[in-house]
Structure 1
Amino acid sequence: MTSIIKRLSLVLISFFVISCSSEDIIIIDEEGSVIIDEEKEENHASNLVYDNISEGSLNSFFHNALISDLYNNIERQEPIEITEYDIGNNRIKTNYEHIENLLVKASNDQSWFVTQGREATAVVEVKSVDVNNGWVNLGQRYSGSFNSKVGARLEFFNPFVNYKIINDSPLFSPYPTQVDEGNFNYIQSGGLIEKANGTYVLLTPVVFGSHQKRSIYYAMSSNLEDWDFKNEKLLGTETISFAKPSGNVFSVDNPFKLDDGRLLVLLGVEQPNGSYTSAYMIIDEGLNILQQPKEIMIPGWYGENQNSFPLALTKFNNQYRLLLHRRNSSFIDREIYELVFSDLFSALESNKTIVSSKLVHRGSESAGYLEGKADDACYIKFNSELYIILGGEEVSSNYLTSNNREYGLMRWHESLWKHDPRSPLIINPVQLHKKYPNYNWAWDHLGGFVSPIIRNNTLYLYMAFGTDNPDYYITGIKIPLQ
């Protein structure tokens, strides 16, 4: 009798799976748990959907900071090329039809630039734009050799049309280089907490050596701009039973506030074999650990035989949504998935109530700024809509920010995640420190677990900029929403 019931259940389950739309990508086992269908997700991931820039959306507050389709970015059809060069007046015309975009002002009136070559090896200032006649008037060349021949390809670039770096400097002054555990390489962001008294706490995982060890510290602020780093350790792997001793543990995204006021902190935990597993702990706003780290018990996202960690957690339209990062053997081949479920702890602790599992992005297959290591994402809720700030690294190419992380925007609309086609929207200043020396600490790397908050009609994003030595300087950027 039991066997007959099981066979009948499987028939009903199969009918349920077949009857779902292609967007649902759900397989349910006999116990009612969700199994990830890799083949369906791979097919699903190759179809990028583009968003419209509607008034009042979060997208509408961003501008096109990188104007180029040398490598797609995301959906332009033709590369930008020089069509005429006036050597006497040092000006160019191009086939780009919307040079009025170059009139958009930057946060501190920083110039637009013409760039060419890998990582903007050639940098030439744009002095002014004659929209009526199509001329782009050039100024000083700050780097490289500018190819002015007809047919030469170029990009227009100004990252500061979308953000201002807080205090135009790293987040801490003086900038710490050691804690009681010893000297460290860099600090990253690991989640923002707004306390009941109106002050803020930023969790700050600290990295020792070349990711040899990572522990979680924190900083405090009363105004989101002036921060005090505390030499007080919150968590290390030595207290985690399933972690590598003296290994890596880091927090990601903003701690999720539970109904009783406690805070759930997502964790990536290095295991004894060197791979990562997904976990969480529960703290209060005083940073007391109320529940020690526990693994997230969803198959494929914990245990020694996989390598992954969580990225973000939110609740939207009465459903919980969780972003997870899967690390593959290839450095570039990385993936970001989204799980949707109806009960938080049933999902995290026993793999129950999961509604869907979808591949949001696979870094090795997409075009433009996402053609690389997809390794960071965070949710943002704005005007009753849900967004993802999505970060990825370019593969080696002639693209402006090759081998550096950059961020684009996605919106949940009409039951789909839709890309802003202007992405990337948040990009490091690359070689612009040749004109603006105050950014000489921010020209190479960008990102590494973004922590967002919206206050005073401003979107604050805490992340890390950097050079090659050290890897990163933690900082914050501001994006006006008015």
Structure 2
Amino acid sequence: MKQPMKILFFLLTILATTSLYAQKSLNDVFANCLISDTESNIQRANPIFIIAIDEANNRIKTNYKNLENLLVEATEKQSWFITQSEEAATIVEIKNVDVKSGWITLGETYAGVFNMDEGETLEFFNPFVNYKIIGNEPLLQPYPTHIKDAYINYIQAGGIIKRAKNEYVLLTPVIFGAHKTRAIYYATSSDLENWTFQEKKIVDTSQIAFAKKEGNVFSTGNPLPLKNGTYLVLLGVEQPNGNYTSAYMILNATLDIVQAPQEIKIPEWHGEQQNSFPLAITKHNGVYRVLFHRRSKRFIESEVHEITTKNILKAFNQNKGISSSKIIQKAKDETGYIRGKADDASYITYNSKLYILLGSEELPSEYLTSFNREYGLLSLENDEWIHDARSPLLVNPVNIYNKYPEYEWTSDHLGGFVSPIVHENHLYLFLTFGTDNPDYLLAGIKIKTN
């Protein structure tokens, strides 16, 4: 082959490879960060257990065969760990994995007491194979503690708007007291990594006719861009009787309210006798999709529903033109991490495919995910939502801070709501990490997509 032809062939090969590489799914972006089962983290029918022990060399073998997954490198080379019991009450560092022999050499125990007997179950865990925390600290520096004289309990993520190139707005519901009141403020950034909190209130419940006057209002999901340069913002609004109702408002690019908050007029999702709020909205292949959270006084009975329509304002204002309505998650019927409080979900469009990042706060169990809120992935396949069996794929670091003290503020569960945006070969997610004081700290994580 002549030299010019070789060069052309080489370039075409690179182009083809790059094209294929760019077409991978969002499932391919995530690694298996929490391995609780040999087959499915959700079904948990085949738990991982110890089959051999070498006490002299502090190593074990398990029934888990895909040990190459434990060699996946974390974003800052953090270690893999073995955990046991709820919320990783026991956590042991993994020092070496011999894929050929199956021996897993253990390091220091950073929490609890490791039960090393044959037959004992365990999980493998490294949350950092999937994400890097922006700055390894809370998103806002210095972190706001007061607005005027009012003490801030915590700040949430409430949806992200890209107003222009290098101009981003993150809506930030701010909670005062023990969920006594909540109002919507915002932060701004030019690069998605350095943010400035603006002490400018967009809306509170005193401005909403159907709300409890000193109550809670928050935004959820990324605002939906409308044709006239405005944005439809989903709202959860506390009513006078304490129940929540589903609502929306419309903002312009300068964050002025151009349509006041109003209830979504779909009967199942408004009124004082029901308890709900919307979670996310998107337009995909010409169809609008909206996720709703059905609340219940009984923890296990919460649900996530989805409606579809081709005319979102007609559906919201007149209860007309709804194409479908179905349950995505019914907590009491689920297994694994999704058998619990179904209270957060976000749409993500990636390479023209649609996904849901689903957050659930699991009921008590013997797994790391017990009492925790984690996020798994669903993909839309032939108009059906399919779980990634490796879910959850986003988990907070729990007791890893005993090895890496810089993550102590992330030790409690992840909090809703998640605001996603894809930018420059990264998926950015703005959310909160739980802690005891305050309840949550606003943060950003980023995930490489290439």
Superposition TM-score, scaled by structure 1 size = 0.87
Which residue is 1:427 aligned to?
A: 395
Which of 99, 124, 131 is residue 163 of structure 1 equivalent to?
131
Asked whether the equivalents of residues 23 and 351 of structure 2 are also in contact (C-alpha less than 8 Å), the reply is no
CA–CA distance in structure 2, aligned partners of residues 415 and 282 of structure 1? 29
What are the superposed Cα offsets for residues 85-143 of structure 1, whole Å, 9 maximum, x if unpaired?
A: 11111111011111111000001000000111111111110011101100111111111
Deviates more, 1:75-84 or 1:388-397: 75-84
What are the superposed Cα offsets for residues 363-386 of structure 1, whole Å, 9 maximum, x if unpaired?
A: 122011101001000101111110
Q: How does 1:369-380 map to 2 (within 5 A)?
A: 369-380=337-348
- Tell me whether 1:231 sits opposite 2:199 in the alignment: yes
**What SS does the aligned partner of 1:102 have?**
helix
Which of 419, 433, 445 is residue 465 of structure 1 equivalent to?
433
**What SS does the aligned partner of 1:132 have?**
coil
Kindly state the Cα deviation for residue 389 of structure 1 after the two structures are TM-superposed.
Answer: 0.3
Q: 1:55 to 1:114 in 2, by over 3 A?
A: farther
CA–CA distance in structure 1, aligned partners of residues 393 and 436 of structure 2? 23
Q: 1:413 to 1:71 in 2, by over 3 A?
A: closer
Which residue is 1:39 aligned to?
A: none
Amino acid at match of 2:346: C
Which of 287, 311, 319 is residue 351 of structure 1 equivalent to?
319
Kindly state the Cα deviation for residue 329 of structure 1 after the two structures are TM-superposed.
Answer: 2.2
**What SS does the aligned partner of 2:401 have?**
helix
Q: How does 1:1-150 map to 2 (within 5 A)?
A: 56-69=24-37, 73-150=41-118
CA–CA distance in structure 2, aligned partners of residues 278 and 476 of structure 1? 26
Kindly state the Cα deviation for residue 181 of structure 1 after the two structures are TM-superposed.
Answer: 5.8
Which of 410, 414, 439 is residue 407 of structure 2 equivalent to?
439
Deviates more, 1:185-194 or 1:396-405: 396-405
CA–CA distance in structure 2, aligned partners of residues 71 and 299 of structure 1? 41
Which residue is 1:287 aligned to?
A: 255
Which of 350, 356, 376 is residue 408 of structure 1 equivalent to?
376
Q: 1:70 to 1:181 in 2, by over 3 A?
A: farther
Amino acid at match of 1:157: F
CA–CA distance in structure 2, aligned partners of residues 70 and 96 of structure 1? 6
Q: How does 1:305-384 map to 2 (within 5 A)?
A: 305-384=273-352
Which residue is 2:357 aligned to?
A: 389
Amino acid at match of 1:118: E
Asked whether the equivalents of residues 215 and 236 of structure 1 are also in contact (C-alpha less than 8 Å), the reply is yes
**What SS does the aligned partner of 1:426 have?**
coil
Asked whether the equivalents of residues 40 and 389 of structure 2 are also in contact (C-alpha less than 8 Å), the reply is no
Amino acid at match of 2:426: T
C-alpha RMSD of the superposition: 1.4
Kindly state the Cα deviation for residue 76 of structure 1 after the two structures are TM-superposed.
Answer: 4.8
Kindly state the Cα deviation for residue 174 of structure 1 after the two structures are TM-superposed.
Answer: 1.2
What are the superposed Cα offsets for residues 287-339 of structure 1, whole Å, 9 maximum, x if unpaired?
A: 11111101100011011110001111111111111100110120232100000
CA–CA distance in structure 2, aligned partners of residues 290 and 417 of structure 1? 35
Kindly state the Cα deviation for residue 72 of structure 1 after the two structures are TM-superposed.
Answer: 5.9
Which of 223, 244, 251 is residue 212 of structure 2 equivalent to?
244
Asked whether the equivalents of residues 429 and 444 of structure 2 are also in contact (C-alpha less than 8 Å), the reply is yes
Which residue is 1:474 aligned to?
A: 442
Amino acid at match of 2:186: Y
CA–CA distance in structure 2, aligned partners of residues 384 and 117 of structure 1? 39
Runs (4+) of structure 1 exceeding 2 A deviation are: 69-72
Asked whether the equivalents of residues 70 and 399 of structure 1 are also in contact (C-alpha less than 8 Å), the reply is no
Kindly state the Cα deviation for residue 180 of structure 1 after the two structures are TM-superposed.
Answer: 2.2
**What SS does the aligned partner of 1:473 have?**
strand
Which residue is 1:38 aligned to?
A: none
- Tell me whether 1:206 sits opposite 2:177 in the alignment: no
Asked whether the equivalents of residues 453 and 460 of structure 1 are also in contact (C-alpha less than 8 Å), the reply is yes
- Tell me whether 1:449 sits opposite 2:417 in the alignment: yes
CA–CA distance in structure 2, aligned partners of residues 458 and 116 of structure 1? 32
Deviates more, 1:239-248 or 1:188-197: 188-197
CA–CA distance in structure 1, aligned partners of residues 32 and 39 of structure 2? 15
Which of 361, 381, 399 is residue 367 of structure 2 equivalent to?
399
Amino acid at match of 1:437: P
CA–CA distance in structure 2, aligned partners of residues 216 and 239 of structure 1? 12
Q: Which has the higher strand share?
A: 2
Which of 169, 173, 186 is residue 154 of structure 2 equivalent to?
186
Amino acid at match of 2:420: P
Q: 1:282 to 1:469 in 2, by over 3 A?
A: same
Which of 245, 248, 261 is residue 277 of structure 1 equivalent to?
245
CA–CA distance in structure 1, aligned partners of residues 298 and 259 of structure 2? 35
CA–CA distance in structure 1, aligned partners of residues 356 and 411 of structure 2? 24
Which residue is 2:17 aligned to?
A: none
CA–CA distance in structure 1, aligned partners of residues 235 and 146 of structure 2? 23
Which residue is 1:30 aligned to?
A: none
Asked whether the equivalents of residues 38 and 64 of structure 2 are also in contact (C-alpha less than 8 Å), the reply is no
CA–CA distance in structure 2, aligned partners of residues 269 and 323 of structure 1? 16
Q: Which runs of 5+ in 2 are unaligned?
A: 1-21
Q: 1:112 to 1:443 in 2, by over 3 A?
A: same
Which residue is 2:14 aligned to?
A: none
Share of identical aligned residues, percent? Answer: 57
Which residue is 2:12 aligned to?
A: none
Amino acid at match of 1:211: H
Which residue is 1:5 aligned to?
A: none
Amino acid at match of 1:335: E
CA–CA distance in structure 1, aligned partners of residues 39 and 164 of structure 2? 47
Which residue is 2:230 aligned to?
A: 262
Superposition TM-score, scaled by structure 2 size = 0.93
Asked whether the equivalents of residues 339 and 358 of structure 1 are also in contact (C-alpha less than 8 Å), the reply is yes
